Amino acid sequence: MTMKAYDKYPVSLTNSLSGKKEVFKPLNPGHVGMYVCGPTVYNNVHLGNVRTFMMFDLISRYFRFLGYKVRYVRNITDVGHLENDADEGEDKISKKARLEELEPMEVVKQYTEDFHDVMRQFNILPPSIEPSATGHIIEQIEIIKKLIRNGFAYEVNGSVYFDVTRYNSTHHYGILSKRIVEELMESGRKLDSQDEKRNKVDFALWKKASPYHIMRWPSPWGDGFPGWHIECTVMSTKYLGETFDIHGGGMDLKFPHHECEIAQAVGATGKSPVNYWVHTNMLTVNGQKMSKSLGNSFLPDELFSGSHALLEKGYGPMTVRFFMLQSHYSSTLDFSNEALIAAEKGYKKLSNALTTLKRLSHPGGVTTINPELENLLLKLVDELHLNMSDDFNSATTLATLFEMSSRINDFKAGNTSLTTINPETFGLFKNGYIGFLEEVLGLTEEIEHNQELLNSVIEVLVDLRKKARQDRNFELSDKIRDDLKGMGIQLMDGKDGEMNFTID
Ligand SMILES: [Zn+2]
């Protein structure tokens, strides 16, 4: 039996539960179950969110590359996420729908599509399952009933709350975030007189809908809608099991969202739901936290077009992807013009070497083997795996790829001859470079430049066709039009012999 790559290069990852780097041991050998909190689809996804989803894309890509079968679940939050964490304020989707005079599902559709577009632009692969909160109302009601039966939840006036103090008397609320219930009870605001909670640390599982609330479902407690935390407990355990391997999200979700998820799952099943909690760090801008109120929050489109006060020019999605991969997922990453300019150069270097390498092939024969070079090339390929297996360190992986790109340029320039290494070694080196750059890091050739080139080529053909028509050579002009049409490029004749084209 051949050894699997995941046995040869065991993965370690930083578990937020222990705060330590641990060796990853899957529940089912050869399989990885991973859940990541997806977007609340009430506005355009900003760059900080993109970083989180890109990092979990990297993680799932590498597990697959090692030969694991990965089930990656990332949800869409389309109900229940209120404006603040204390179960107060309007539902974010409902509010947007009210302000824009739309149905809530119109809001959801619009921003889900925007989210998918952005993911595609950054080459972030879709998850295996993308469940939505509104698609799992029945399951949420069922688990809330179970929590009430188990004594961890109570109903007041048509709303249901999780009893944190009761839970904490037999279990550990704060196990993930290291918060202490007694301190949470003392800090912050006092309970409002109209607050129905027994204790202010309690959180909503189900909220009663006012007569004007548009998003509502019938339940044993009357018409209402689910709290935010319960959806993730339901959707993660439904598709991955009561206990699963990895749960991820941005660091800001650790408390209260993920802490509440643990309490809900333990309260319902008696089992700890997640073996490894993984959190990605924040994106800062010139050293400051990215936030809408500071005016330093970026939308992907502003970045591509350069239409933002803090940007000197636009950057392609692959440059941004490269930039984000330069830092470890658990570190903060600072966003600035200078950093992006440097990333653009770095990315181009790796991308050029990729193009060169794809054209290089070993002649087959060897003259005299250079054992040092052989060892170096094999060591570099080994290093790629070791770096990524070490807590998905994309930064050191990129450093190794840079070293490999210098070797590639040596081959191209003829400084070293391919006949001094074995064809097998060259094969491993080539597959390693291409595999890690394209499949693991997800860096493809930037389409933008190719698109520009394609447009110029079409312009040339359009001019030729114009000339053919002037010469009354309709056979040739029709051929150009039909051949382009066959490739999905439509030429449209305008007045005065002007021509335009569209590409499918
Ligand atoms: Zn969640």
CA 175 / ligand 1 centre spacing (Å): 17
Neighbours of 169 (CB within 10 A): 10
Counting residues of the chain whose pLDDT is more than 70, the rounded percentage is: 94
Nearest residue to 140 (alpha-carbon basis) of 127, 153, 156: 153
Question: DSSP alpha helices (H): ranges in 436-473?
Answer: 447-470
Reply yes or no: is the peptide bond before residue 256 cis, omega within 30 of 0: yes
Residue 84 has pLDDT above 80, yes or no: no
CA 258 / ligand 1 centre spacing (Å): 7
Crossing angle for the helix pair 423-434 and 394-413, nearest 10 degrees?
Answer: 130
CA 35 / ligand 1 centre spacing (Å): 9
Question: Cα separations (Å) of 339 from 63, 329, 393?
Answer: 29, 17, 19
CA 250 / ligand 1 centre spacing (Å): 10
CA 36 / ligand 1 centre spacing (Å): 7
Question: Cα separations (Å) of 438 from 155, 165, 347, 352, 399?
Answer: 52, 49, 12, 13, 15
CA 14 / ligand 1 centre spacing (Å): 19
State pLDDT tens for residues 460-470: 888 888 889 88
Are 206 and 225 within 8 A, CB to CB?
Answer: yes
CA 353 / ligand 1 centre spacing (Å): 40
pLDDT of residue 471: 92
What is the C-alpha separation between 418 and 363, in angstroms, rounded?
Answer: 7
**What average pLDDT does this structure show over 471-481?**
90
CA 183 / ligand 1 centre spacing (Å): 24
What is the C-alpha separation between 406 and 20, in angstroms, rounded?
Answer: 35
Lowest-confidence segment of 308-317, 386-395, 402-411, 479-488 by average pLDDT: 479-488
pLDDT band at 202 (very low <50, low <70, confident <90, very high): very high
Lowest-confidence segment of 5-9, 166-170, 309-313, 495-499 by average pLDDT: 495-499
Are 297 and 291 within 8 A, CB to CB?
Answer: yes
Residue 391 has pLDDT above 80, yes or no: yes
CA 271 / ligand 1 centre spacing (Å): 18
* Beta bridge partners of residue 499, listed in sequence order: 493
CA 150 / ligand 1 centre spacing (Å): 23
CA 15 / ligand 1 centre spacing (Å): 17
CA 102 / ligand 1 centre spacing (Å): 25
Pairing mode of beta strands 499-503, 69-74: unpaired
Are 76 and 112 within 8 A, CB to CB?
Answer: yes
What is the C-alpha separation between 265 and 279, in angstroms, rounded?
Answer: 19
CA 315 / ligand 1 centre spacing (Å): 31
pLDDT of residue 194: 53
What is the C-alpha separation between 401 and 395, in angstroms, rounded?
Answer: 10
CA 241 / ligand 1 centre spacing (Å): 16
CA 257 / ligand 1 centre spacing (Å): 6
Pairing mode of beta strands 159-162, 203-208: antiparallel
CA 248 / ligand 1 centre spacing (Å): 9
Estimate the share of the chain in helix, then strand, then coil, as percent rounded to the nearest 5: 50, 15, 35
CA 269 / ligand 1 centre spacing (Å): 18
CA 80 / ligand 1 centre spacing (Å): 11
pLDDT band at 308 (very low <50, low <70, confident <90, very high): confident
CA 68 / ligand 1 centre spacing (Å): 24
pTM of the predicted structure, to 2 decimals: 0.88
pLDDT band at 448 (very low <50, low <70, confident <90, very high): low
- Give residues with Cβ within 8 angstroms of 289, minimum separation 6: 282
CA 12 / ligand 1 centre spacing (Å): 24
Residue 238 has pLDDT above 90, yes or no: yes
- Amino acid letter, residue 400: T
Nearest residue to 79 (alpha-carbon basis) of 200, 268, 214, 195: 214
